[in-house]
């Protein structure tokens, strides 16, 4: 039997039922094409989820639905109930239906449940560390992690500050390129090409418990802006301000969560991500190409 045929047989295709056709859900669809099935259902009950599971008979469910506030997370500060329903109750409903039907669930969490440095020597937060969230959105995300992580056959993938070569207002590159005032903070971040690959492997391996899906190492906002300047727009400029000024100037209601995450748990399943410096340089090159195509199509 030819090697190619053997490879095709071992990497069997999967049916992954995705809830949430937002930024990340749509990006997964672009990457996975026929392997992804999108649910159009708006979920209010366990039965709503069960109907979709029975209809599509998926190998796994991926929850990319949630409420993260529009135009930004500050919206959640005075829409507490909507935020809890979308980020705490909804994942529990989905988990309940998946458990009833014996279907693996990959739920998307967020790394913004941690504020500041951890107690560990390297200051990074481990998957086993409890959250210390302040903002309403972060509290609601942490509440879901706290209970879902007690269930078997459930994986929780926490991401942070998505960086991608596909231009989008949700992409960290576009955000930093368009904000006139930028803070230079250091964080763990998630490059979406790597995240998509990790999610596929987590689903295949039915990885259980909490995982930090962030690229090893940390990134300062300035590094990404410098790469943008170098590869996309040499005329780009911005005004650098402090975190406190962001709130003082009325550009944010609450201080944002900044932190470092260690992603030790992925290695338990033999899953690895590229170091952040390598991944952001590669992504910015692809982003520059995508922008050129966008401009050519507009002409």
Q: Which residues form the interface with ligand NAP (CB under 6 A)?
A: 19-25, 42-43, 64-68, 86, 90, 108, 110, 141, 159-160, 162, 170
Burial class (CB in 10 A: 0-12, 13-18, 19+), 128: exposed
C-beta nearest to ligand NAP: residue: 22
- The smaller minimum CB distance to ligand NAP, of residues 108 and 136, is found at 108
Residue 215, preceding peptide bond in cis (omega within 30° of 0):
no
- The smaller minimum CB distance to ligand NAP, of residues 28 and 232, is found at 28
Q: Rounded to the nearest 5 degrees, what angle is found at the Cα of 66, between the Cα atoms of 152 and 176?
A: 120
Q: Could you tell me the smallest distance in angstroms from the CB atom of residue 109 to ligand NAP?
A: 7
- The smaller minimum CB distance to ligand NAP, of residues 69 and 216, is found at 69
Q: Could you tell me the smallest distance in angstroms from the CB atom of residue 42 to ligand NAP?
A: 5
Q: Could you tell me the smallest distance in angstroms from the CB atom of residue 6 to ligand NAP?
A: 36
SS3 at position 272 = coil
39 closest CA partner among 23, 8, 62 = 62
- The smaller minimum CB distance to ligand NAP, of residues 6 and 30, is found at 30
Q: Could you tell me the smallest distance in angstroms from the CB atom of residue 8 to ligand NAP?
A: 31
Q: Could you tell me the smallest distance in angstroms from the CB atom of residue 21 to ligand NAP?
A: 5
- The smaller minimum CB distance to ligand NAP, of residues 22 and 275, is found at 22
Q: Could you tell me the smallest distance in angstroms from the CB atom of residue 107 to ligand NAP?
A: 8
Which residues sit opposite 261 in a β-bridge? 125
- The smaller minimum CB distance to ligand NAP, of residues 220 and 292, is found at 220
- The smaller minimum CB distance to ligand NAP, of residues 28 and 151, is found at 28
Long-range contacts of 220-226 (CB under 8 A, 24+ apart): 220/184, 220/185, 220/186, 221/176, 221/182, 221/183, 221/184, 221/185, 222/184, 223/277, 223/280, 224/163, 224/172, 224/173, 224/176, 224/280, 224/284, 225/176, 225/177, 225/182
261 closest CA partner among 273, 244, 247, 279 = 273
Beta-carbon contacts of residue 1 (< 8 Å; ≥ 6 apart): none
Q: Could you tell me the smallest distance in angstroms from the CB atom of residue 234 to ligand NAP?
A: 27
């Amino acid at each position: 039997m030819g090697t190619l045929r053997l490879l095709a047989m071992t990497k069997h295709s999967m049916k992954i039922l995705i809830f949430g056709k937002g930024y990340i859900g749509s990006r997964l669809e672009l990457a996975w094409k026929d392997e992804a099935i999108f649910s159009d259902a708006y979920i209010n009950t366990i039965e709503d989820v069960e109907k979709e599971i029975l209809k599509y008979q998926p190998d796994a469910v991926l929850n990319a639905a949630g409420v993260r506030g529009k135009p930004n997370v500050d919206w959640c500060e005075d829409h507490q109930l909507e935020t809890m329903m979308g980020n705490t109750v909804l994942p529990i409903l989905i988990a309940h239906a998946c458990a009833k039907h014996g279907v693996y669930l990959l739920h998307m969490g967020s790394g913004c449940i941690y504020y500041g440095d951890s107690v560990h020597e390297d200051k990074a937060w481990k998957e086993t560390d409890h959250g210390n969230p302040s903002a309403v959105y972060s509290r609601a995300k942490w509440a879901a992690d706290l209970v879902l992580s007690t269930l078997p056959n459930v994986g929780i993938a926490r991401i942070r500050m998505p960086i991608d070569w596909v231009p989008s207002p949700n992409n960290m590159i576009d955000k930093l390129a368009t904000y006139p005032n930028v803070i230079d903070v250091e964080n763990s971040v998630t490059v979406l090409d790597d995240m998509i690959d990790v999610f596929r492997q987590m689903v295949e391996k039915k990885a259980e418990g909490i995982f930090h899906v962030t690229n090893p190492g940390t990134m300062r906002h300035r590094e990404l802006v410098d790469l943008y300047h170098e590869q996309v727009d040499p005329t780009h400029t911005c005004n650098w301000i402090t975190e406190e000024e962001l709130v003082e100037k009325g550009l944010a209601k609450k201080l944002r969560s900044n932190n470092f995450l260690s992603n030790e748990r992925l290695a338990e399943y033999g899953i690895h991500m590229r170091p952040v410096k390598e991944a952001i340089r590669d992504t910015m090159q692809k982003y520059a190409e995508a922008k050129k195509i966008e401009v050519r199509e507009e002409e």
